[in-house]
Structure 1
Amino acid sequence: MIVIYGIDKHLNPIKSQLSEVIHGCMQSVLGMPEDKRAHRFIPLAKEDFFYPGGRTDCYTVIEINMMKGRKPETQKALIKALFKEIESALGINPIDIEITIKEQEKYQWGFRGITGDEASDLKYNVDV
């Protein structure tokens, strides 16, 4: 699951395109299938979104939650792809993008009535 935060006046108009870019990176770097998009957008009023100095109102936070198993090189490749593709497609400078990857053990995920370590039919590889 991916959670995206930003100032509402900036984030709302680009949600669909940003979702496409993020999912494209997830597919190309992690091998995620097309139907495994789980994006949650949290648009905030400017007065509710505090961010570091030197950033603009385009400042966007992307939190990627995933099952443990991806190699550090793979995670770094994902982060770099996101910076590059978001800047290319949406014109958001990398200084205005913050990306965090949060890994949880497979047994800490629950979906379709089972835990992640019980799933034997995933259409993608977690250990990449």
Structure 2
Amino acid sequence: MAQVKVYGLASVLAPSRAAVSDAVHAALVEGLGIPADKRFHRFFPLAPEDFVHPAGRSERYTIVEVLLFAGRSEQAKKKAYAALYRGFAALGTAAEDLEVVLIETPRVDWAIRGVPGDELALSYAVET
């Protein structure tokens, strides 16, 4: 399970939302083994005054937060990071303009379809 939040300037993020979603999803499928049919993305297009960040970032500066079940290996996470940077580079976003954070929580901290996450039958592996 993974829930994604993408933050960026509205002028850049809004017109590229579908392409960004595709890049993020492809990276999570490749790196973390997320099933291809499991896409949970939320977009936060922000006004410049609502997106304060250090100098040196361009208007393409983007933050991707991924909330997921704990259990992926460091290798799987690094594979996902690399795929995210490749995907965003293909969209014209430089590495300096992308920040990614994976936030892992125990499965018991989730409830999905009326079932605690640690009791949920999954069609994919989390411990990878």
Find the residue that maps to 1:34 and give its secondary structure.
coil
What residue in structure 2 maps to residue 96 of structure 1? Answer: 97
Q: What TM-score results when the alignment is normalised by the length of structure 1? A: 0.95
> Within the alignment, does 1:73 sit opposite 2:75 as a pair?
yes
Structure 1 unmatched runs, 5+: none
Amino-acid identity (%): 37
**What is the number of residues matched between the two proteins?**
126
2:61 to 40, 59, 62: 59
After superposition, the C-alpha distances for 1:78-102 in whole angstroms (9 at most, x for unaligned) are 11110112102x0100100000000
| Distance in 2 (alpha carbons) for counterparts of 1:56 and 1:72 | 29
What residue in structure 1 maps to residue 27 of structure 2? Answer: 25
| Distance in 2 (alpha carbons) for counterparts of 1:56 and 1:11 | 13
Q: What TM-score results when the alignment is normalised by the length of structure 2? A: 0.95
What residue in structure 2 maps to residue 126 of structure 1? Answer: 126
Offset, 1:65: 0.5
Find the residue that maps to 1:32 and give its secondary structure.
coil
Find the residue that maps to 1:12 and give its secondary structure.
helix
> Within the alignment, does 1:42 sit opposite 2:47 as a pair?
no
| Distance in 2 (alpha carbons) for counterparts of 1:21 and 1:97 | 13
Find the residue that maps to 1:28 and give its secondary structure.
helix
Equivalent AA in structure 2 for residue 103 of structure 1: E
When the two chains are superposed, the root-mean-square deviation of aligned CA atoms in Å is 0.9
Offset, 1:37: 0.2
Q: Which runs of 4+ in 1 moved over 2 A?
A: none
Find the residue that maps to 2:63 and give its secondary structure.
strand
Structure 2 unmatched runs, 5+: none
